[in-house]
Chain A
Amino acid sequence: MRTCFLLTIICLLTGCGKPQFENRAQFAELEPYAQEYVQKVLDAHFGTPTEMVVWDRLPLEPHDATGTVVSAADREVKLELTEPHQDILPGTELFWKVKGEEGEPATSQSVWIREWNEETHTAILEGNVTALPVENDQVILGPGAVLSRGRMLYAEHCQHCHGVSGDGAGPTSPYMNPKPRDYRLGLFKFTSTQGPFRAQRADLARVLELGIPGTYMPSFKLLTEREMNSLVEYVLWLSMRGETEYLMVKFLSDSYSTTAVKERVASGKEKKNDGAEEYETYSSIRQEFIDAVNDEDEIPAELQMFSELIASRWSDSQETSAVVTPSEVHKEYTEESIANGRKLYLSDALKCVSCHGEAGYGNGPQTWSITKDLDTGKDNPAPGLYDAWGNPLKPRNLHTGIFRGGRRPIDLYARLHAGIKGTPMPAFGGKLKDEELWDLVNYIYSVPFTEDVAGAGKVAEAQAAESSEVEPATSPEPATVPEKAAANVQAEESDTEVVVNN
């Protein structure tokens, strides 16, 4: 009700244009016929924000519940549902398909639930029921309800930053640093899964519940579990749509982007001048594209492959085996463990220092070096680090005591073990033993409470190596200047907490 009211007001103020998905920038670089094809594919499999389509190849859970009929009599239907399912509220639609007479297509039937008994899984139906499902019929409760609920909630809470198509370019996003997440690569930074896997539903729900401190993502703790699940499912749907678009556009731009076609035509002209009989022209390339689209083994096969890739990536990530699970318990937070962690932090093998800096202020040499693009491996245009979305990235200042992905030991462990997806933060899972990872975790916990100063790292390392002391003894004289420098670094960080003495 409130959402409807809000949307109405927004419509009245901005004009009632229907929301539309926007395409990524590379889409516009395709030849018009290729654009038309990609658009048709997206429309057919995902629809528009207001007329959503669920592609059944993708591992989504768009319905409140699915199941089979155990018994149906009068107005009472007993069901067996696949678990887990969403809460069934009065007014939920019960949908099933009736096989047509011979030669006729199946027709779909709907009835509405008046009362639902969760214990016996029995529904009492609403009003005059003209048809009833029979035993063993496959039924859907609330067809698409999760996604459509998710869409309304997304429009109310998320869209103004994350954008209609989940591109992280909503109207409030230009004022933000860091930028809102662009879902369309399917990458999420703070996950509990191992490096090659996508995020779990629980990871997204956790981010919604707790927010991301140090960024503009607030906590949505007051949403109900049902609302939270709906939002997560809608975000997954947007991600999969974005990934499909990304993979298709990337695949087609090799041969059918405006520049690629120009080059092909130019070389075709050369061939023609050389006297060749077969050469490529604009119209032949267009014809080739049309043939490829109509040939089951070419572009449609690629599309099939992409959808399978997306589906398997997401469904594999939902397995328990995808989760980072330490084999040893969190090591006790002792000075010895912290000192070991510091040694590892400073070691050449792990290269923590190259980004996070010797003192952990996030000012390592990589922040002013030319780095490689994560995707293409080419040099980045300007010095500094970049994430997979092409945004400049600051290595975390470990002194703030703010942990974006959560402050539990398992959160820090997972960051170290699996890296942070879409960023240069590498995975140390295979490289280090569990014990060493826990030492590093303990060291990271200790950093906000130590007074290491920038530049004291080498001294500390030497001391740590000699006497295995944790705290580097910093004399007051050299401390004065670097402390100021450190304060400047802190002031630049947007997530620095202001410390005030009352």
Chain B
Amino acid sequence: MKWFWCFFFMFWPILALLVCWIAPGYGWWFPSAAASQLGSRIDDLFYMILIITTITFVGTQFALGYVLFTGAQSSEEGSTRKVWFSHGSHELEVIWSIVPAFVLLFISLYQLDVWAEYRVKDAFPKAKMLGVLDRIEQKRNSKDSIALAEVTARQFEWRIRYPGFDQEGHLLPLMLEPQPTDLYSVNDLHLPANAPVMINLRTIDVQHSFFLPELRIKQDAVPGLIIPIWFEANHEATYSLLCAELCGWGHYKMKANFVAESEQEFVAYLKQLQKEQNYDGVATSEETSDE
């Protein structure tokens, strides 16, 4: 029986390594390669932590195996080996307190800049975001929001508000309060690709979580807060937008498309939204007023 336990505890680290090894080939891994630069840096952090925990896990399991094995040997008949009584060893206690503490300290310092870039407003790539707004010719002054859309989570859908166009057809900045010119859509977020863009996230009922799995973006929507999030899609593609916080019985329905497209296509999409939103049922009418 004692040999069984030795092999039993050895089996798991080997299985864990094996599963990690074959997982990417079977698609048991991340939902596609990270589709944003920040995303691949987040993946790097993940891999780093995975490597540290793997070394720790495999190391402790083999140590356990070794202890079991020698213990099993010394309990064989005729063995003269004595057990080593390690309880209360001051050196060991110090070692296994200090080493993990340093590892944790290292992780916390190492990830700081990624975290800051993603979460701290002053570290946002603001210049690049303004570049996008310039290129799509938004009529703005320096105090206007750099967000391109307001995403409102609600049970169980994503409602999106874009700024509209003025009389001359210039894109207006997004205001905190709804404006008569605003454009609305639901479960369909369009934004420019290949450059950082910012949205404002809010919820009108319970907590939700804005989750772009391919871009590795996840942010809780908290009642009463307007939370800015930025992201940059590397390719023009349609990604999924999910809710990652169990928000009620219809949580599973809370799926939407995030369409990353070129800047021209984005403006064209907004123009199309404006046209649809101004449809007055008269077949021959061209675009009517700005409302």
A contact set with B: CB distance below 8 Å: 157, 160, 172, 192, 210-211, 213, 216, 218-222, 323-330, 332-333, 401, 407-410, 413-414, 442, 445-446, 448-449, 497-502
Contacts and interface: CB of A to CB of B under 8 A. Distances in A.
B279 interface: yes
Nearest to A220: B253
B224 A500 contact: yes
23 contacts: A160-B249, A218-B155, A219-B187, A221-B188, A221-B256, A222-B187, A222-B257, A323-B281, A326-B281, A327-B282, A330-B278, A330-B285, A330-B289, A408-B277, A409-B279, A409-B291, A413-B280, A446-B180, A448-B178, A449-B180, A497-B152, A499-B177, A501-B176
**Top 7 A-B residue pairs of the complex, sorted by shortest distance between their CB atoms:** A410-B281, A330-B280, A333-B291, A409-B280, A221-B187, A218-B157, A329-B285
A166 B25 CA distance: 46
Contacts of A211: 157, 186
Given A330-B285, A502-B225, 7 more contacts: A213-B159, A328-B282, A332-B288, A333-B290, A407-B277, A409-B278, A498-B223
B10 interface: no
A396 to B, nearest CB: 16
Interface residues of B, number: 39
Interface of B: 152, 155-157, 159, 176-180, 184, 186-188, 202, 204, 223-226, 249-250, 253-257, 276-282, 285, 288-291
Contact of A442 (B226, B279, B291): B291
B202 A326 contact: no
A180 to B, nearest CB: 12
B282 A325 contact: yes
Given A324-B281, A329-B288, A330-B288, A502 B176 contact: yes
A497 B225 CA distance: 13
User: Most chain-A Cβ atoms within 10 A of its Cβ — which of B159, B176, B179, B256?
Assistant: B159
Contacts of B278: 330, 408-409
B284 to A, nearest CB: 8
Contacts of A497: 152, 204
A255 B282 CA distance: 50
B253 A157 contact: yes
A330 B281 CA distance: 9
Contacts of A325: 281-282
A401 B156 CA distance: 19
Given A210-B186, A222-B187, A333-B180, A326 B282 contact: yes
B249 A413 contact: no
Contacts of B249: 160, 172
A218 to B, nearest CB: 4
Nearest to B152: A497
Contacts of B255: 222
Contacts of A324: 281
Contacts of A449: 179-180
A223 to B, nearest CB: 10
User: Most chain-B Cβ atoms within 10 A of its Cβ — which of A192, A325, A408, A409?
Assistant: A409
B186 A409 contact: no
A172 B250 CA distance: 10
A495 to B, nearest CB: 8
A219 B254 CA distance: 9
User: Most chain-A Cβ atoms within 10 A of its Cβ — which of B159, B187, B280?
Assistant: B280
A382 to B, nearest CB: 28
A445 to B, nearest CB: 6
A401 B152 CA distance: 14
A414 B282 CA distance: 12
A85 B250 CA distance: 32
A216 to B, nearest CB: 7
Contacts of A448: 178
Nearest to B288: A330
Contacts of B250: 218
Contact of B180 (A222, A445, A500): A445
B33 to A, nearest CB: 23
Contacts of A221: 186-188, 256-257
Contacts of B285: 329-330
Contact of A409 (B156, B178, B288): B288
Contacts of A410: 279-281
Nearest to A209: B186
A359 B241 CA distance: 39
A320 B253 CA distance: 33
A221 B226 CA distance: 25
Nearest to B187: A221
A371 B177 CA distance: 37
Contacts of B256: 221-222
B226 A502 contact: yes
A329 B255 CA distance: 36
A490 to B, nearest CB: 13
Contacts of A210: 186
A329 B184 contact: no
A401 B187 contact: no
User: Most chain-B Cβ atoms within 10 A of its Cβ — which of A325, A327, A497?
Assistant: A497
B277 A498 contact: no
B279 to A, nearest CB: 5
Contacts of A407: 184, 277
Contact of A216 (B152, B155, B159, B186): B155
